[in-house]
Amino acid sequence: MPNILEQIVASTRKRVEHQKRTVPLSKLLETPTPTHPSFYEALKNQDFAYILEVKKASPSKGVIKEHFEPLEIAKQYEQAGAHAISVLSEPEFFLGKSEYVQQIAKTVSIPVLRKDFIIDPYMIYESAALGASAILLIASLLDEATLKSYLELTHRLGMDALVESRNEEDIAKALRAGAKIVGINNRDLRDFSVNIEQSLQLRDNIPPSTLFVCESGIDSKEQIDKLKQNYVDAVLIGEYMMRSDNKKEALERLEGKRL
């Protein structure tokens, strides 16, 4: 049985091939690219930034939000004080849609990160056409030369990339390839367990000139305090925010402004 990433990648390959037949790259390139705010600057301009995630479901948790209104959630995130919004567009395992990225980017004034499993340059052009400010690139899915070329294309199209890493090897590859923003995903994909110690242990591998994002499993003020003490620049929070009815109060609880 292939592991979860292999399953997602296989499904993504089929989806991209189908999408290329529906909207060929030549046609996609005719689409005017919407202007968008800078994801990098939005994170850099804060002592500690919050990227809040819009996702209906995930392989580890199944359906998280049955009654799912992505645009409404994104507006609530912005009003709550998010500095950027992450939007899952992968349809089979996360029940996402590319349209969510487009609709949300059109509506909010903060940057939108397209969270998908980018394995083809077509998806980078598509992300720009959707109005994304940034994309996720997963270091373990791409060899170094490919990661470097995807980063160059992303930057050339005026977007930023969050390069997701899980170990020293991924981080070294990301830095050599020119990543300006590195994320550590705390979720172990073998058993789906999450532990923010993963980010803290790898913190010193990332130079201060590179933005450092801690991803997954964040749901308490104690964790946020610890991450701030360890010079983490930003956090990416999905499930905790998705399950909270009042987004503003949920963020205030993480910040210790509310019990």
Secondary structure letter of residue 139 according to DSSP: G
Decide: 221 and 235 in contact? Cβ < 8 Å.
no
Nearest CB to ligand LARABZUK, comparing residues 129 and 165: 165
164 is catalytic: yes
Decide: 235 and 213 in contact? Cβ < 8 Å.
yes
Nearest CB to ligand LARABZUK, comparing residues 127 and 129: 127
Q: Which residue is nearest to ligand LARABZUK (CB)?
A: 238
55 is catalytic: yes
Nearest CB to ligand LARABZUK, comparing residues 55 and 83: 55
Nearest CB to ligand LARABZUK, comparing residues 28 and 194: 194
Q: How far is the CB of 122 from ligand LARABZUK (least distance, A)?
A: 21
Q: How far is the CB of 46 from ligand LARABZUK (least distance, A)?
A: 19
**Site of interaction with ligand LARABZUK (CB under 6 A):** 4, 53, 55, 58-60, 185, 187, 189, 192, 194, 215-218, 236-240
53 is catalytic: yes
Burial class (CB in 10 A: 0-12, 13-18, 19+), 191: exposed
Q: How far is the CB of 85 from ligand LARABZUK (least distance, A)?
A: 12
215 is catalytic: yes
185 is catalytic: yes
DSSP characters over 152-220: HHHHHTT-EEEEEESSHHHHHHHHHHT-SEEEEE-B-TTT--B-THHHHHHGGGS-TTSEEEEES----
Q: From the centroid of its chain, how far is CA 163?
A: 9
Q: How far is the CB of 113 from ligand LARABZUK (least distance, A)?
A: 11
Residue with tokens 């209104």: 69
Backbone phi and psi for residue 191, each to the nearest 5 degrees, phi listed first: -130, 5
Secondary structure letter of residue 251 according to DSSP: H
Nearest CB to ligand LARABZUK, comparing residues 131 and 217: 217
Q: How far is the CB of 110 from ligand LARABZUK (least distance, A)?
A: 17
Residues with active-site annotation: 53, 55, 115, 164, 185, 215-216
